[in-house]
A and B are shown apart, each in its own frame.
Chain A
Amino acid sequence: MALDDVVKNGLIGLSMDTNLGQQVYTATINALANAAAAFMQQFSIQLDPNINKSLGYIINGFNIYSARNNINSLQLYTDMVNMYKQNISQNNTSNIYLLSRLLIENYKKLGYPDPITGKREYATRQERETAQNIANMIGELLGQSLTQYYNSIGRTDVTLSQIMININEYASAFYGAYKGAIDQIGAHILLLTPDISLLKSATGLMSTLDEMYISSIQGLISALYSKLPIPEALSPILNALGQKEVYNNIFDEMTRKIRNYIGQQVSQPNIQQPVPVPIQQNQPVAQPIQQVNQPNILPQQPGNQLQQNQQNNQFQQQFQLIVPPPHVIRPY
């Protein structure tokens, strides 16, 4: 018997050992859970507008322009989030939308144009390599989800192989729903007020949220893949996470975190940066992250006139946070 057969047969024999299977399964899940938690912990820093400056500016802009139009920013935010979810995360089809979006995002990294805008995206070599592996896995998962869906609505003639032939077409169509969600939010704003500034800041906020959500799921999958780079093993785990609503829960948690800052002034991050000259190495200049205490802010109650007035009074203070404010020296 050839040596490779010796080893192969030996390992295949192990597949019958359920005790060993349980041990491997537990060890794998633990390793994946740790990798996922580590990634999410790191990622959640970006959700703090006191640290993530650009998110802070966007939220402040949204608060300011809502106040200027006498619109309750918290209510508007809630409406926007609901509209977004209605478009792309209905319970029985949310996986299809999400997987389609992820597939297209990975295709874009591989150099394919965006199916709506036609624009091409930039990705590093490393990102492209990962995207290739993840795209194969996501494509397979999407095919399975679509097949199950069509079967569930009575189209039992639909098979996985039929779906996979045109998987790009399916993905592109569902991908469009995300863009549609933002457009719909835009239309909703314009029915409330003609203020283009509010339109831009509100759709800007939702686009940012959308990008952060997708990038968190992408990052999560990459983190899991780095621990378990076997697509056929990871694929059912990702599928099971979807069934357990984990992806939807991530979105809900993200929107909840950001909600804490709606209608409130986000303070300017107190980041002291070193004098930058000379640059010491050819590495990305790491953004110094200083832990800033989360403001202990209660969400604003809709229709609370007092808070609305306070918000208007804060208008001037808030506006400065859209752009970096000057450091001022004044007479005492």
Chain B
Amino acid sequence: MRIAVLLDHRWESGVKTFSIGVLLSFLKLKELLKLSLGDTEIDFYVMTFGPNDNVEYFKVDFNELYELYKNRDIKKIIELANKENYASISKQIRLDDILEGLDNSDFVFITNVGFAVYNNSLDKEDLDRILSNNRKRTYMLMFHTDYAGNFLYNLIEFINSGKLKSISETTKNKIYSLLSKKIKQGYMTDEDQRELMRIIEYLSNSNTEEAIEFRNEYSWWLDEVRKYIYTFGKLTRLKNVINLFPTHIVSDSNSRFIKNVIGSNIKKKEILHEPMFMILLNKYYKEEIEVYKNAYLEEHYKDNKINLLYVGRNSKEKGIDDLIRLFEDLVKGGEDIRLIIVSPDFGKDTEEYKKLEEIVSKYGRGEVHIYSNALGNSLHEYPLYYIALLKALGEKPTIYINPAYTESYGLSTLEALIFGKLLVIYRDVDGLSELKERGYLNYQTAFRTYEDLVKLTKKIIEEIKEDIRNGRYDKIENEEIKNGKYDKYVNRGAIERLEKEVDPEELAEKYKEIIYLAREYEKIIHNESESKYNNNSEAQSEEIEAVA
């Protein structure tokens, strides 16, 4: 058995975080497969950006990582993956080497369905070769986001950037209307998705002034959309592909989108939690985290000031404007609250930083704490600090806010739930809606519009103030209170279950099942195709697939 894993490490984002979790799952998987299928060869390939924005490919020494894993040296593994991009244990290879490696594998896992996008070294022919239909192997591909929603937010950002001087009111209204419908409904209907594609097609092909201007500014984006669509088209034609989604909502939205654009649909779908590497850090380095937690509590968060915590990129689609507006409205209304921002890109030169400075100085109250790579105090470089901060805030009056307009999975939200058991106020959209339906997020703390967000936050702040007056946060020696047993907004039971479900070592069992089933399925297909009576293989394949 030979498994190849292609990791997309080109961006510091959820895609990379996912791939680190996948690495830990595959290390456990090697152990599991050894017991059931004998020795399994696992090849790890990584793609990153080179110095000139070209994509470079590397082969990682998986056995080296496995040696570390046997000692449960999780910190070292994560450091190699996260900080180094595996540099010291990988060697640069050519794209052809990867193509050959994938050709010779029985099972190929690609951690990002967008692996071919932004990729100027990978041609259409290479993509065809990677996703070939020769049935020799099975593919598993991860969809991270709701692509229709994503494209819509891209368009909104382009309009808001001010670069499109000729954009007509009609086009603007069409796009804004799709956004408000999505916010209202929590998802995009088939008709809305088709309308979105009509707008994109119009901007791609029309000779109107606004479309020409759009192409001049954003032809790279149109090219990107085309590449996605080409990849989706390939996936609909392949039978031996397992399409992996983090939530049912993302699965449903993408499936409908692909059907609406391509005309046919992807076949096999699996909904599986994303493995969270921080779970293993929390499992194996509890003592060290405790020291850091106490440091945060004793110095920075000793008082009982109400904290609003935001974790995420500094970007419009993550709802950063709503967050700042909320902070301003609360401070303006007399609340002396503390906004804590954990974000990779929140430097002093950003518009948002300046706005926060202005708010605090204008009203003479409120406080902002920022942890950011751009300010030299990142918590994610050494993630134990981040886990410790969440745990510390879990013992203090803290509200986690997720105002994102699009969220495929909500990894940071899940981290806040698991490590801090925090009360989460979230926009009821996409993956977050599903987390609510599955019971991890409390249904009373969901909102859709900004007005609802303000109303809800004010209501909860009043309740927390009452709790503070009643000594809720002073009685931390009382374990039951400390652990939030009486918090009506935190679904503790579900969160404890969730902690196991996102554990990379537990998820390895699921991957094993998928690989095992795929292998059995391929055997059936193989036997059938060798049959001399197989004169209608397509029909028979469908039949076998249905049985399987």
A residues at B contact (CB < 8 Å):
61, 111, 119-122, 124-125, 197, 200, 268-285, 316, 319-320, 322-332
Q: By the criterion CB–CB under 8 Å, are B292 and A323 in contact?
A: yes
Q: How far is the CA of A259 from the CA of B498 in the complex (A)?
A: 47
Interface centre among A120, A200, A284, A331 (most CB of B within 10 A): A331
Q: Is B263 an interface residue (CB 8 A)?
A: no
Please indicate the chain A residues that have their CB under 8 angstroms from the CB of B85 in the complex: 279, 282-284
Q: By the criterion CB–CB under 8 Å, are B86 and A282 in contact?
A: yes
Q: By the criterion CB–CB under 8 Å, are B385 and A324 in contact?
A: yes
Of the candidates B58, B76, B369, the one whose C-beta lies within 8 Å of that of A282 is: B58
Please indicate the chain B residues that have their CB under 8 angstroms from the CB of A277 in the complex: 11-13, 344-345
Q: How far is the CA of A327 from the CA of B338 in the complex (A)?
A: 12
Please indicate the chain B residues that have their CB under 8 angstroms from the CB of A125 in the complex: 61
Q: By the criterion CB–CB under 8 Å, are B356 and A285 in contact?
A: no
Please indicate the chain B residues that have their CB under 8 angstroms from the CB of A272 in the complex: 375-376
Q: With A124-B88, A319-B298, A327-B370 in contact, is A279–B12 under 8 Å at CB?
A: yes
Q: By the criterion CB–CB under 8 Å, are B46 and A282 in contact?
A: yes
Q: How far is the CA of A78 from the CA of B53 in the complex (A)?
A: 52
Shortest CB distance A240–B (Å): 33
Q: Is B368 an interface residue (CB 8 A)?
A: yes
Given A124-B64, A330-B360, 12 more contacts at CB 8 Å? A125-B61, A275-B345, A275-B374, A282-B92, A319-B295, A320-B300, A323-B389, A325-B299, A327-B369, A327-B375, A329-B356, A331-B365
Q: How far is the CA of A288 from the CA of B84 in the complex (A)?
A: 14
Q: By the criterion CB–CB under 8 Å, are B49 and A279 in contact?
A: yes
Q: By the criterion CB–CB under 8 Å, are B368 and A331 in contact?
A: no
Q: Is B372 an interface residue (CB 8 A)?
A: yes
Q: Is B223 an interface residue (CB 8 A)?
A: no
Closest 6 A-B residue pairs measured CB to CB? A326-B369, A329-B368, A324-B377, A282-B48, A322-B295, A320-B299
Shortest CB distance A130–B (Å): 13
Please indicate the chain A residues that have their CB under 8 angstroms from the CB of B452 in the complex: none
Shortest CB distance A275–B (Å): 5
Shortest CB distance B332–A (Å): 13
Of the candidates B48, B340, B367, the one whose C-beta lies within 8 Å of that of A279 is: B48
Of the candidates B71, B90, B292, B388, the one whose C-beta lies within 8 Å of that of A119 is: B71
Q: Is B117 an interface residue (CB 8 A)?
A: no
B residues at A contact (CB < 8 Å):
9-13, 46, 48-51, 53, 56, 58, 61, 64, 67-68, 70-71, 73, 76, 83-90, 92, 291-292, 295-296, 298-300, 340, 344-345, 347, 353, 356-357, 360-361, 363-379, 385, 388-389
Please indicate the chain A residues that have their CB under 8 angstroms from the CB of B50 in the complex: 280-282
Shortest CB distance B420–A (Å): 15
Q: How far is the CA of A125 from the CA of B295 in the complex (A)?
A: 39
Q: How far is the CA of A125 from the CA of B68 in the complex (A)?
A: 14
Please indicate the chain B residues that have their CB under 8 angstroms from the CB of A274 in the complex: 374
Which residue of A is nearest B367, CB measured?
A330
Interface centre among B49, B295, B371 (most CB of A within 10 A): B295
Which residue of B is nearest A329, CB measured?
B368
Please indicate the chain B residues that have their CB under 8 angstroms from the CB of A111 in the complex: 67
Please indicate the chain A residues that have their CB under 8 angstroms from the CB of B373 in the complex: 273, 275-276
Q: With A275-B345, A282-B85, A329-B367 in contact, is A322–B291 under 8 Å at CB?
A: yes
Of the candidates A124, A284, A326, the one whose C-beta lies within 8 Å of that of B370 is: A326
Q: By the criterion CB–CB under 8 Å, are B299 and A316 in contact?
A: yes
Q: By the criterion CB–CB under 8 Å, are B49 and A331 in contact?
A: no
Please indicate the chain A residues that have their CB under 8 angstroms from the CB of B12 in the complex: 276-279
Please indicate the chain A residues that have their CB under 8 angstroms from the CB of B83 in the complex: 284-285
Q: How far is the CA of A279 from the CA of B299 in the complex (A)?
A: 34
Q: List 10 A-B contacts (CB under 8 A).
A: A272-B376, A279-B11, A280-B51, A280-B53, A282-B9, A324-B378, A329-B356, A329-B370, A331-B360, A332-B361
Please indicate the chain B residues that have their CB under 8 angstroms from the CB of A61 in the complex: 291
Q: How far is the CA of A316 from the CA of B297 in the complex (A)?
A: 12
Which residue of A is nearest B389, CB measured?
A323
Shortest CB distance A282–B (Å): 4
Interface centre among A268, A285, A324, A325 (most CB of B within 10 A): A324
Q: By the criterion CB–CB under 8 Å, are A285 and B344 in contact?
A: no
Which residue of B is nearest A280, CB measured?
B49
Q: By the criterion CB–CB under 8 Å, are B344 and A122 in contact?
A: no
Q: With A319-B299, A324-B385 in contact, is A273–B374 under 8 Å at CB?
A: yes
Interface centre among B46, B56, B298, B377 (most CB of A within 10 A): B377
Please indicate the chain B residues that have their CB under 8 angstroms from the CB of A323 in the complex: 292, 295-296, 385, 388-389
Shortest CB distance B310–A (Å): 13
Please indicate the chain B residues that have their CB under 8 angstroms from the CB of A280 in the complex: 49-51, 53
